[in-house]
Amino acid sequence: MRSVHELLSLKGQVAIVTGGAAGIGLQMSYALGEAGANLVLASRKIERCEEVAQKMSGQLKAEVFPVQCDVAREEDVDNLFRSVMKKFGRVDILVNNSGATWGAPSLEFPMDGWRKVMETNVTGLWMMCQRAGKIMASQNYGRIINLASIVSFVGTMPEQMDSVVYTASKAAVAGLTKDLAAKWARHNITVNALAPGWFPSKMTDWSIREKGNAIKKSIPMQRFGGDDELKTAVLFLASPGASYCTGVILNVDGGWISV
């Protein structure tokens, strides 16, 4: 029987976190790095990744590798995996955290906003899963964690959130997660998702500032998520100890879905 320390250790593993240099992505990157994983921080803004990588390298006993990547661009995704394989020779963990949103009333929602969000949140995530899945299948080991959302399961009043495309995209993420879990289990790849509630970030800043009181009314804990409240959730799903968990969508939402 393995100890809890062994079950949660990521020592020697390689973890890619898209959008891993800011917001909840940074929180999750620290969780994996603190557990011993070498990190690949991928983002459209390479300067931010390089800045964060330098800081984290001085704090963690792991390598931190910044890579520029717009997940909606196939050539960027392919270049990311070429770079990671050249440097580390393996990919053990993928956290698909990059995301986009677009706010507008549903009856007037523009098609350019719809396409932009879908290309990043669904198509980009799928390309990342597929490329990582091929590598993980060849290793007979892998952990994929997608970022779904509480809105994967429920609608929201416009007074709380008005982005119909974000809701649709995150429902697609939940469905894709479950389907890949079933298809890739034979390769010893687990595919799970986190469904965060409201956490302060650049993406949620406007909504929390303008609609925060209305949002809190639907959260039984009556508060937003904290700066370390996703760490153990992502660590569990990424860990060797989660070997019998696949197709799971773990809510971290202050109780939103329970009411």
- End-to-end, the C-alpha distance of the chain in Å comes to 39
Residue 244 DSSP label: T
Tokens of 83: 């770079």
Distance of CA 225 to the CA centre of its chain: 16
Q: What is the DSSP string of 74-112?
A: HHHHHHHHHHHHHHHS---EEEE---------GGG--HH
Say what angle helices 164-184 and 111-118 make with each other, to 10 degrees: 30
* 54-59 contacts at long range (C-beta below 8 A, 24 or more positions apart): 56/29, 56/30
Beta-bridge partner residues of 193:
146, 249
Residue 166 annotated to the active site: yes
Among residues 22, 60, 14, which one has the least CA distance to residue 44? 22
Given 30, 141, 166, 244, which residue is catalytic? 166
Tokens of 204: 């949620």
Give the Cα separation of 4 and 19 in Å (integer).
29
Give the Cα separation of 37 and 64 in Å (integer).
9
Q: Letter for the amino acid at 134?
A: K
Tokens of 73: 């661009």
Q: Is 178 exposed, middle or buried (0-12, 13-18, 19+ CB in 10 A)?
A: middle
* Catalytic center residues: 166
